Amino acid sequence: MAERDSELMLRGYGLTTAEFFYRMPDFRSVLNSFVWQAMDLAPDYPELFRFIEFWHERIEGPLHSVRFTHRRMIGPGEWRNQVGEFTV
C-alpha cells in the first residue's frame, strides 16, 4: 500500500479529506458527520465524486453538505534520487 501511495504522489495525487454532513433517515432534523480520506487528483477529484455518487445510490441518509481539503504530499520537483550508502 505504501508503495502504491508513493507512486500516486509522484503522479500528482494528494491526500483528500472530506467531511460529509448528512441527515438521519428516520430523524431528518438530526445531522451526523462522516470523515473520508483517499488519494485523489486535483482539480477534478474523481475519487471524491465517485464516493459522492456511491453515497447517493446506496446510503439512505441524504447529504446536507460536504467540506473537503486537498494537500499534495510530494511534488515532482521535490523528489531527488540519492545514490550512496552510509555505514555506521
Calculate the CA dihedral of residues 59, 53, 70, 13 and round it to 10 degrees: 120
13-27, pLDDT tens digit by residue?
Answer: 899 999 999 999 899
Per domain, the residue ranges of the chain are: 2-76
The percentage of the chain sitting over the pLDDT mark of 70, rounded to a whole number, equals: 82
Residue 22's CB is within 10 A of a number of other CB atoms, namely 19
Instruction: Indicate the DSSP class of residue 52.
Output: H
* Bridge partners, residue 71, by sequence: 15
Q: How far is it, in rounded angstroms, from Cα 66 to Cα 7?
A: 28
The helix/strand/coil state of 42 is coil
Average pLDDT of 75-87?
Answer: 65
29-51, pLDDT tens digit by residue?
Answer: 999 999 999 999 999 999 999 99
The three cell numbers locating residue 34:
462522516
pLDDT band at 62 (very low <50, low <70, confident <90, very high): very high
The three cell numbers locating residue 15:
491526500
pTM exceeding the 0.95 threshold for the entire prediction: no
